[in-house]
């Protein structure tokens, strides 16, 4: 059997914050070295909790996790030495300059002054903040702050970088910029990245593997390609009224239908070819007296996958 190296490996991670709140209920993750894994899920799914456990900031209630081969509970110092993390919320001191933020962080993690300065110059160039490096962070735009945080996470040359919602609240141009840095980190520097996002396109664009997390559980996992292919080549979306259950049962029985679900007054039908199959679907609607008001044919997206596996619309799509 070929041995694949996992940079991150978890078994049955659970996290209970209180009697009412079970944030994780059995998360098994295996992230291959030198890959990008995206945890994709809606608000409250358990993304940040997972990152907190993997970066040793929180302890799991049950289950185990290894990061870079070290146990996060038993060997937290070994883990910390090998990781970088950027948080969902901006945690920058606005009174410092960009350069000072990086310097203090590097010093805190035991880098010499000389090593800090060398690293800072390199990273400020990477995230294109050289010209703003000596300005107070308080004067930075949202995108500049995210870029500075990314640079700070990289000060210690981590093997594994955790990015919690790296592009939250950024405009498209800034997001595309961050995406490029993230790709470079994997491709040029051989890093492993675990990122969380609730942007479908971000996961689709960057990740080698996507885990869709919902209610503290990974509900499906695969390459973006694999996930959307489960749905068929095209998705027919139908709005209408009538005997949905009967219509849907007939549709689901058709050989060319990958799956069909009903949610929020919309039918989502994965088929091998939208243009070719529409006629048949419309005909069956007629036979079951289901009245179609509106139809569209689209390529499946991760949003459709989410809908299929959870039965709910992904709000932030
Ligand atoms: N420190 C805490 N104490 C109590 N409950 C918490 C704490 N942190 C998170 N939770 C709860 O645990 C669940 C998972 O939260 P978590 O922050 O991991 O979700 P998330 O996927 O990161 O969500 P978001 O997309 O909003 O960032 C939520 O129900 C949240 O309210
Ligand atoms: Mg979060």
Quick check: 24 and 37 in contact, CB under 8 A? no
Whether the pLDDT of residue 172 is over 80: the answer is yes
| pLDDT score of 4 | 57
For the domain spanning 232-299, the CATH number is 3.30.70.1340
Q: Which atom of ligand 1 is nearest to the CA of 18?
A: 4
Domain with CATH 3.40.50.300 in the chain: 6-223
| pLDDT score of 293 | 94
How far is the centre of ligand 1, averaged over its atoms, from the C-alpha of 25 (Å)? 13
* Residue 228 pLDDT class (50, 70, 90 cuts): confident
Q: Which atom of ligand 1 is nearest to the CA of 15?
A: 12
Rg of the chain, C-alpha, whole Å? 23
* Residue 119 pLDDT class (50, 70, 90 cuts): very high
Write down the mean pLDDT value for the chain: 91
Q: Rounded distance, CA 185 to CA 245, Å?
A: 49
| 143 vs 55, higher pLDDT | 55
Indicate the range of 52-61, 112-121, 222-231 predicted with least confidence: 222-231
List, for residues 248-305, the tens digit of each pLDDT value: 999 999 999 988 888 777 898 989 888 889 999 999 999 999 999 999 998 888 888 8
Domain with CATH 3.30.70.1340 in the chain: 232-299
Q: Considering only the top CATH level, what class is 6-223?
A: alpha beta
How far is the centre of ligand 1, averaged over its atoms, from the C-alpha of 160 (Å)? 23
Residue 281 is encoded by which pair of tokens? 């679907």
- Predicted structure pTM score: 0.86
Q: Which atom of ligand 1 is nearest to the CA of 50?
A: 18
Taking a 5 Å cut-off on Cβ, the residues next to ion ligand 2 are 47-48, 88
How far is the centre of ligand 1, averaged over its atoms, from the C-alpha of 23 (Å)? 6
Residues within 6 Å of ligand 1 by CB: 17, 21, 23, 41, 43-49, 88, 198
């Amino acid at each position: 059997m070929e041995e694949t190296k996992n940079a991150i490996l978890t078994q049955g991670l659970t996290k209970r914050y209180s009697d009412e709140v079970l944030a994780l209920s059995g998360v098994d993750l295996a992230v291959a070295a030198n890959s990008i894994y995206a945890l994709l899920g809606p608000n409250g799914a358990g993304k940040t909790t997972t990152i907190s456990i993997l970066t040793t900031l929180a302890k799991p209630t049950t289950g185990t996790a290894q990061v870079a081969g070290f146990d996060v509970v038993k060997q937290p110092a070994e883990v910390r030495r090998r990781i970088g993390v950027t948080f969902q919320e901006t945690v920058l001191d606005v009174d410092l300059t960009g350069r000072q933020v990086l310097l203090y962080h590097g010093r805190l993690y035991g880098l010499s002054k000389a090593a800090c300065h060398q690293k800072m110059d390199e990273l400020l160039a990477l995230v294109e903040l050289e010209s703003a490096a000596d300005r107070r962070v308080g004067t930075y735009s949202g995108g500049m702050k995210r870029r500075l945080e990314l640079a700070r996470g990289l000060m210690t040359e981590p093997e594994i970088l955790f990015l919690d919602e790296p592009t939250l609240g950024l405009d498209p141009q800034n997001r595309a910029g961050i995406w490029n840095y993230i790709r470079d980190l994997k491709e040029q520097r051989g890093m492993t990245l675990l990122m969380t996002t609730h942007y479908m396109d971000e996961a689709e664009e960057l990740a080698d593997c996507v885990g869709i997390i919902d209610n503290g559980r990974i509900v499906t996992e695969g390459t973006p390609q694999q996930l959307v292919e489960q749905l068929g080549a095209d998705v027919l979306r139908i709005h209408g009224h009538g005997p949905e259950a009967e219509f849907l049962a007939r549709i689901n029985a058709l050989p060319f239908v990958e799956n069909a679900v009903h949610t929020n007054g919309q039918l989502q039908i994965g088929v091998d070819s939208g243009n070719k199959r529409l006629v048949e679907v419309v005909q069956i609607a007629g036979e079951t007296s289901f009245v179609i008001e509106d139809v569209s044919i689209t390529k499946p997206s991760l949003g459709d996958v989410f809908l299929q596996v959870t039965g709910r619309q992904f709000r932030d799509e």
